[in-house]
């Protein structure tokens, strides 16, 4: 087992918790109240009196040697100390009787019994009558667990409180030690999942030499590899798209020259449509590449989202008349958001035109704007709903990926390139918003967009 193993650390922490808690309890036991509860006085007094009367009887029967022999047997059998004194406090029998000096002095003066307790051992000194006078007998007695605790509520609360505080504090430190790197790793993974590929776990956690440190190091290596791969992919898309522009421009020139030399031909019309399609696709690819690789912040201003969406709906509705598709807008207020008007126009237009492309002929495309509270913040909610066939639930997330096709045949027939929703997704994320799709009943697909930072709303 490695020295810096997390398993070994947890084991040692819990072991230390038990040891330190036990030590704390011992200290509270030592430093706790030393008085004996009154309810134990009678039984302890009877026990001490019984032993003391035997010692006095042995003294009066056989003298000091007999009393000393009895006390020696008592100490040997019980491992507890006992001493016999005369009424003035002078020692008669017993060993190491100086520890009872204070108690003997008190009994000789007051004639009253004295009780003390230390380390769970009760010490009793009391006056006993004899045939030739009075004697003082002092002894130690085992108090037992209940007597050691004293049945004192304050003592019980103190000891349990100390145990709970010590063990709780150590367990808190252990929990912090284990969970802190996990929480940092969770936060870093959330940033990575949100698209911030430069995110790395904290360096101080990476320097740990246990399993959590190894996990963080592996995570940082993985994040670096993902960032490198995605950056290369984005750069490749940008480079290819940029390089295609020149050949396509030359193809356009060649197409014009061919028409001049050969005259009008339907083949030239098909070629022109293909070139236009390629130009549009490359233009969208460049937009995606710029959104993915841009390092400079996008310039943001206050944008009247209601007015912007109204223009898009008006233009898209006019162009969709040939399919007998009506585009409607429902917005009772003027919504203003902090954003880039050009990018927002491109994103929303892509979503609306995508809905027009797939809705059934003769059915409407419904666009709605409203204010929505999400996690305590104000958002503008934009929904675009069509009456098309919808898509499989497993494809609802993937449709925002570039070139993702739900059905190749349908996309070819509709002229889709699989880039419109990808552009919308990136634009909305740049604006710190969210976009997702859901199927509606009885049929159709609805795109939900939420844009934060509503600066003001003016009622119509």
Residue 11 lies in a domain: no
The winner for highest mean pLDDT among 30-44, 57-71, 250-264 is 57-71
Question: Are both 380 and 446 inside the same structural domain?
Answer: yes
pLDDT at 120: 64
Confidence of residue 45 (pLDDT cuts 50, 70, 90): confident
Beta-strand relationship, 333-339 and 301-304: antiparallel
DSSP character at residue 208: -
Mean pLDDT within 431-439: 91
Confidence of residue 242 (pLDDT cuts 50, 70, 90): low
pLDDT at 329: 93
Residue 190 lies in a domain: no
Mean pLDDT within 416-428: 79
Helical (H) or strand (E) element with 272: helix 266-293
Mean pLDDT within 401-412: 60
First and final CA of the chain: distance in angstroms? 72
Least confident of 128-142, 260-274, 410-424: 410-424
Question: Are both 242 and 133 inside the same structural domain?
Answer: no
Distance CA 454, CA 378 (A): 6
CA–CA distances in Å: residue 78 to residues 42, 82, 84, 292? 20, 10, 16, 86
Question: Are both 230 and 342 inside the same structural domain?
Answer: no
Mean pLDDT within 200-216: 80
Distance CA 211, CA 188 (A): 18
Measured at the CA of 444, the angle between CA 440 and CA 446, to 5 degrees, comes to 65
CATH code assigned at 219:
1.10.287.130
Question: Are both 274 and 381 inside the same structural domain?
Answer: no
Q: What is the CA radius of gyration of the chain?
A: 45
Residue 173 lies in a domain: no
Confidence of residue 317 (pLDDT cuts 50, 70, 90): confident
CATH code assigned at 39:
3.30.450.20
Mean pLDDT within 364-371: 92
249 pLDDT more than 90: no
Question: Are both 447 and 307 inside the same structural domain?
Answer: yes
Question: Are both 427 and 306 inside the same structural domain?
Answer: yes
For residue 52, which of 37, 67, 64 has the smallest C-alpha distance? 67
Question: Are both 280 and 325 inside the same structural domain?
Answer: no
pLDDT at 153: 59
* Domains: count for the chain: 3
Q: Give pLDDT tens digits for 347-356.
A: 899 899 889 9
Residue 157 lies in a domain: no
Residue 181 lies in a domain: no
How many CA within 13 A on the CB side of residue 216?
26
Task: Reply yes or no: is the peptide bond before residue 442 cis, omega within 30 of 0.
Answer: yes
Question: Are both 312 and 279 inside the same structural domain?
Answer: no
Domain end: 237, 258, 293, which one? 293
Residue 187 lies in a domain: no
Domain range enclosing 406: 301-459
The winner for highest mean pLDDT among 28-32, 54-58, 210-214 is 54-58
Q: Give pLDDT tens digits for 89-146.
A: 899 999 889 888 889 999 898 888 888 876 667 888 999 998 888 999 999 887 654 4
Question: Are both 310 and 238 inside the same structural domain?
Answer: no
1 pLDDT more than 60: no
Domain end: 101, 125, 151, which one? 151
Question: Are both 376 and 339 inside the same structural domain?
Answer: yes
Confidence of residue 267 (pLDDT cuts 50, 70, 90): confident
- For the chain, what's the residue count? 460
Question: Are both 246 and 116 inside the same structural domain?
Answer: no
Question: Are both 51 and 80 inside the same structural domain?
Answer: yes
Distance CA 238, CA 86 (A): 109
Domain end: 246, 265, 293, which one? 293
Residue 317 lies in a domain: yes
CATH code assigned at 427:
3.30.565.10
* CB neighbour burial string for 390-408, b if at least 16 within 10 angstroms, e if fewer: bbeeeebeebbebeeebee
Residue 47 lies in a domain: yes
């Amino acid at each position: 087992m490695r020295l810096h193993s997390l398993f070994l650390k947890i084991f040692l922490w819990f072991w230390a918790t038990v040891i330190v808690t036990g030590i704390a309890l011992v200290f509270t036991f030592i430093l706790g109240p030393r008085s004996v509860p009154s309810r134990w006085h009678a039984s302890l007094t009877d026990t001490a009196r019984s032993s003391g009367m035997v010692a006095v009887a042995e003294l009066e029967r056989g003298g000091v040697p007999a009393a000393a022999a009895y006390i020696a047997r008592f100490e040997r059998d019980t491992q507890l100390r006992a001493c016999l004194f005369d009424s003035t406090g002078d020692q008669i029998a017993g060993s190491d009787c100086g520890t009872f000096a204070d108690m003997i002095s008190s009994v000789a003066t007051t004639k009253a019994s004295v009780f003390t307790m230390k380390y769970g051992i009760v010490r009793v000194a009391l006056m006993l009558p004899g045939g030739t006078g009075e004697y003082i007998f002092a002894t130690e007695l085992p108090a037992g667990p209940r007597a050691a605790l004293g049945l004192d509520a304050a003592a019980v609360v103190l000891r349990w409180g100390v145990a709970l505080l010590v063990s709780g504090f150590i367990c808190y430190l252990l929990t912090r030690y284990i969970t802190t790197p996990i929480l940092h790793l969770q936060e870093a993974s959330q940033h990575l999942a949100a698209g911030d590929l430069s995110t790395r776990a904290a360096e101080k956690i990476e320097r740990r030499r246990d399993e959590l440190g190894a996990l963080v190091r592996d995570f940082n290596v993985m994040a670096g590899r993902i960032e490198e791969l995605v950056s290369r992919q984005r750069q490749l898309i940008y480079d290819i798209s940029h390089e295609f522009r020149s050949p396509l421009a030359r193809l356009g020139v060649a197409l014009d020259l061919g028409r001049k030399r050969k005259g009008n031909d339907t083949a030239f019309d098909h070629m022109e449509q293909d070139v236009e399609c390629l130009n549009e696709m490359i233009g969208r690819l460049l937009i995606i590449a710029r959104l993915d690789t841009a390092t400079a912040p996008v310039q943001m201003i206050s944008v009247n989202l209601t007015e912007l969406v109204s223009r898009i709906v008006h233009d898209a509705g006019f162009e969709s008349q040939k399919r007998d598709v009506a585009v409607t807008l429902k917005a009772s207020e003027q919504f203003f958001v902090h954003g880039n008007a050009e990018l927002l126009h491109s994103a929303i237009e892509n979503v609306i035109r995508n809905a027009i492309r797939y809705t059934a002929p003769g059915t409407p495309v419904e666009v709605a704007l409203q204010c929505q509270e999400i996690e305590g913040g104000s958002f503008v909610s934009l929904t675009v709903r069509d009456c098309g066939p919808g898509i499989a639930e497993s494809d609802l997330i993937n449709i925002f990926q570039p070139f993702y096709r739900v059905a190749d045949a349908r996309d070819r027939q509709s002229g889709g390139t699989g880039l419109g929703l990808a552009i919308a997704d990136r634009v909305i994320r740049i604006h710190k918003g969210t976009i997702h799709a859901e199927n509606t009943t009885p049929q159709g697909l609805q795109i939900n967009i939420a844009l934060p930072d509503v600066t003001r709303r003016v009622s119509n």
